[in-house]
Amino acid sequence: MTRRNLPLVRQGAQAAFTLFCLFSGWQLYRFYKWANGASETYVARPPAVEGFLPISALVSLKRLLMTGKYDPVHPAGLTIFLAALTIALLLRKGFCGWICPVGFVSNLAETAGRRLKIRLTPPAMIDIPLLALKYLLLAFFAYLILWKMNLRAIEEFLRTPYNMVVDIKMLYFFLTPSRLAGGVMLGLLILSFFLRNPWCRYLCPYGGLLGLLAMMSPFQVKRDAAACIQCKKCERNCPADIPLTDKMTMRSPECIGCLECVAACPVKDCLEVKALRWQAPPYLLPGLVASVFLGFWLVATTTGHWHSQLPLEIVKKYYQMGIDISHPR
């Protein structure tokens, strides 16, 4: 398999994870119907939906670092969060580039916009300030959770009924969004046809955190300036709009490790994937991303850190109250 096939492999990987997320959401809905008494058919609650609970995962991570205790309520969420952080530290923003379903949907919209010739490129004076938004959001959550919350506050939050049904709150959000939430989601989707990955690029604090960690990754794309013909095909295919032909080494926190630039480059060995000083086969990076992610899942399932430890009776009780449970103040 040649490097030219990298974009197709990436789309296939993201599509598979997206379909899995949709299936997990459907299973969560069926479990909710059973827990709420609307269905007699029992369907096990899918732990993977906890991957969409990054705030709970960040709180759980701080508790894990302070006490060594793994979250028994949403352990899968913490596992997925740890996997994404580890991937970023070792393999750039591989979670964003090869796994994230939000990025996959955004990429589809961007591709459609490019083919319709309606895609816009904002000038640097607008783009650069907008890039700072996700880091400001990250700083806000870091201040509230990492700085302000002490262990007692963390323990109290994790035991609240709200935290126990936050997955159902998420389900309500997607099934019956408010006008504001629905308008924002629709607006971001429409905007994705005109701008390249607006949510991922400007607003996702999760991606901002992974980008900062990715700057320490040993994997980097390097450019041979002598071989470069300045065709800029790498830049046109870069989902992060990084000015690649101005750089020798891609250390940008915006780089998602997708290797679209490597696949697009027409000159042999002009763009290379390197781990420290060693030239790595292009497919090694996505292979390691998948291995690390699935490795965390395998360890979590075998050690009892994937499925929630909440008794079904408690889950049913809180699920039946779910829509009325508000966020703790």
pLDDT cut 90: percent of the chain above it: 70
The highest-confidence range among 6-15, 162-171, 315-324, by mean pLDDT, is: 6-15
What are phi and psi for residue 83, nearest 5 degrees? -65, -45
Q: Assess contact for 59 and 157: CB atoms under 8 A.
A: yes
**Mean of per-residue pLDDT scores for the chain:** 92
Q: Which tokens in the block code for residue 21?
A: 């997320």
pLDDT of residue 324: 64
The residue among 247 and 132 whose pLDDT is bigger is: 132
Q: What is the mean pLDDT of residues 248-256?
A: 91
Residue spans of alpha helices (H) in 142-219: 151-158, 161-164, 166-175, 179-194, 198, 205-214
pLDDT of residue 329 exceeding 70, the answer is no
pLDDT of residue 326 exceeding 90, the answer is no
Residue spans of alpha helices (H) in the chain: 6-35, 54-67, 75-91, 94-98, 101-115, 124-141, 151-158, 161-164, 166-175, 179-194, 198, 205-214, 233-237, 260-264, 284-303, 312-321
pLDDT of residue 37: 86
pLDDT of residue 328 exceeding 70, the answer is no
pLDDT of residue 18: 96
CA distance 185 to 163: 24
pLDDT of residue 222 exceeding 80, the answer is yes
CA distance 186 to 92: 30
pLDDT of residue 104 exceeding 70, the answer is yes
Q: What is the mean pLDDT of residues 144-166?
A: 91
Q: What is the pLDDT of residues 28-55, one digit of tens each?
A: 999 999 988 889 999 999 999 999 998 9
Q: Assess contact for 280 and 219: CB atoms under 8 A.
A: yes
Query: Domain segments of the chain: what residues?
Result: 8-217+285-324
Q: Is residue 137 very low, low, confident or very high in pLDDT (cuts 50, 70, 90)? A: very high
pLDDT of residue 59: 95
pLDDT of residue 235 exceeding 80, the answer is yes
CA distance 194 to 210: 25
Q: What is the pLDDT of residues 262-310, one digit of tens each?
A: 999 999 889 999 998 889 999 999 999 999 999 999 999 999 999 999 8
